[in-house]
Copies of this chain bind each other. A is one copy, B any other.
């Protein structure tokens, strides 16, 4: 069985799937959008084009749909597609709430169709570089993992600035950043969540968040995003008792840092620095800290669609399971609750 994909919503991400999914052998069978300009764009792109999801779902040539509509429509479209017998891939966040997701999953189970979410950032090279350090103990025992995303672009765009469409950065990127951490540490419980969420430039939706998650394995995870921190801090900082890893950006500039003269006790002299007496925070002697290159990771996002193809042909299990998607949404709900109350949420 070949994936014959119907794209529901021909905005930015709809177009992106139309261009990129064929790399995995996916056939773009049809496209729909309620907006006339986008309908014309789809026609111009050579796609079979419908004016509504309802029409597209009647197309017997379509066996799978990708939902690239605003977030508040995922539930409705998923249930309609399932009832029309289509397998469903939804853009992230899969749903606005855990409760919505449960309804969607029930509809797909009832219809006997496959259901997954496009958590494409499990294939990001920067995250996989950190995951390798975690899996292989490259930094010894890790005490902190910081995942940060800063932008100087300020404002969000289109429907993302409105609450009723599921806008805001927790929905847009928080879902990725949380998913990456839970994916990195399979089977590790989240003990406690504390979050600060703010609207810095936007009236309705969040555009800054800092989330601390204490994990069962002792690691304190720090997830942070801002659309308006203008000197970007490293995408990842990982601290272990045998070194520090910095991954500066998506392109994976960065290094592993280790102590050269490994961890000798300091002489008892006080060093005068620019700001008064300190031994601990005096400069390390020359050569005291050495760098190594980051490990090089091969990754290909298109494996997402290859996996969907394998699942539909009974060759593999899905890499993005609905219980995982549900857990991420649960964390997101805890984040909002913590931000509102000032309390930590004891989680799992």
Contacts and interface: CB of A to CB of B under 8 A. Distances in A.
Given A125-B275, A152-B259, A220 B198 contact: yes
A196 B172 contact: no
A173 B282 CA distance: 13
A145 to B, nearest CB: 12
B282 A214 contact: no
A131 interface: no
A141 B45 CA distance: 45
A42 interface: no
A121 B16 CA distance: 53
Interface string A294-326: 000000010000000000000000000000000
Nearest to A344: B344
A214 B120 CA distance: 33
A151 interface: yes
A275 B121 contact: yes
A239 B154 CA distance: 12
A288 B343 contact: no
Contacts of A277: 12-13, 16
A30 to B, nearest CB: 21
B268 A158 contact: yes
Given A16-B277, A125-B275, A237 B244 contact: no
Nearest to A227: B280
Given A264-B155, A282-B153, A230 B201 contact: no
Contacts of A141: 200
A284 interface: yes
Q: How large is the interface on A (under 10, 10 to 19, 20 to 34, 35 or more residues)?
A: 35 or more
A284 B233 contact: no
Say how many copies of this protein the assembly contains. 2
A265 B214 contact: no
Contacts of A241: 200-201, 228
Given A154-B263, A157-B268, A346-B342, A276 B120 contact: yes
A266 interface: yes
Nearest to A273: B250
Contacts of A270: 12-13, 15-16
A22 to B, nearest CB: 16
Given A144-B210, A198-B218, A233-B233, 5 more contacts: A12-B270, A121-B276, A157-B280, A229-B239, A230-B289
10 contacts: A124-B275, A155-B265, A157-B279, A169-B280, A200-B239, A210-B220, A212-B212, A228-B239, A230-B257, A231-B257
Interface of A: 11-13, 15-16, 120-121, 124-126, 141, 143-144, 149, 151-158, 169, 172-173, 191-192, 194, 196, 198, 200-201, 208, 210, 212, 214, 218, 220, 222, 226-231, 233-234, 237, 239, 241, 243-244, 246, 249-252, 255, 257-259, 263-266, 268-270, 273-277, 279-282, 284, 288-289, 301, 338, 342-344, 346
- Enumerate the 8 nearest inter-chain pairs by beta-carbon distance, A residue then B residue, closest first: A250-B275, A192-B342, A230-B257, A250-B274, A196-B220, A194-B194, A344-B344, A251-B274
